[in-house]
Amino acid sequence: MVKLAAKCILAGDPTVGKTALAQIFRSDGTHFQKSYTLTTGVDLVVKTVPVPDTGDSVELFIFDSAGKELFSEMLDKLWESPNVLCLVYDVTSEQSFTNCGKWLEKARAQAPGGSLPGVLVGNKTDLASRRAVDSAEARAWALGQGLECFETSVKEMENCEAPFHCLAKQFYHLYREKVDVFHTLV
């Protein structure tokens, strides 16, 4: 049995729902934050996710940092050596989707060994009439970037666990790969 620990950074434009997503995950879907508060600095959410079909688990340390700080030096410090990335956009905002490229680039620049498992999450699917980002378009981009793709509605509490379970699984597979490498060294 092994319990891994992963630093998960939560990235994306302000108001896409990063904090709401992290909080609903933390509270097992019992808590939707109705009023918006701008995150300043960083919030930390810690939660253990079991890896299916193994006795193993991954403890996610989710660093929820302010979305307005794309260009701040503060973020460089908070994002040091990330293990996995949760990249969030708002399906009603074309701009928040376009900016994902910049967030991804910034996160990858900090990743140890140059690899960073990640997921792309399109949030606010409940606002169907205002949708501005096509699912297929997002999926194609995510695929090209090696990211797994999800759509969620934090408000309706739909699919909010899946991205984090996927991150835990990806990190676990990365660990298994590295252990295989360690075996070949002698």
Partner 1 sequence: MRKVDLCLSSEGSEVILATSSDEKHPPENLIDGNPETFWTTTGMFPQEFIICFHKHVRIERLTVQSYFVRTLKIEKSTSKEPVDFEQWIEKDLVHTEGQLQNEEMVVRDGSATYLRFIIISAFDHFASVHSISAEGIVISNLS
Give me the residues that bind partner 1 (CB under 8 A), please. Answer: 1-7, 58-59, 61, 81, 83, 112-113, 115, 171, 174-175, 178-179, 181-182, 184-186
Q: How far is the CB of 87 from partner 1 (least distance, A)?
A: 18
For residue 31, what is the enclosing H or E element? none
Q: How far is the CB of 117 from partner 1 (least distance, A)?
A: 9
Tokens 């360690």 belong to residue: 182
Look up residue 145 and give its two tokens: 């970037």
Q: Which is nearer to partner 1, 103 or 171 (CB)?
A: 171
Look up residue 155 and give its two tokens: 């408000």
- Cα four-point dihedral sign 126, 14, 30, 60: positive
Q: How far is the CB of 178 from partner 1 (least distance, A)?
A: 5
Q: Which is nearer to partner 1, 83 or 99 (CB)?
A: 83
Q: Which is nearer to partner 1, 31 or 176 (CB)?
A: 176
Q: Which is nearer to partner 1, 32 or 61 (CB)?
A: 61
User: Which has the closest alpha carbon to 106: 69, 51, 144?
Assistant: 69
CB 63 within 8 A of CB 19: no
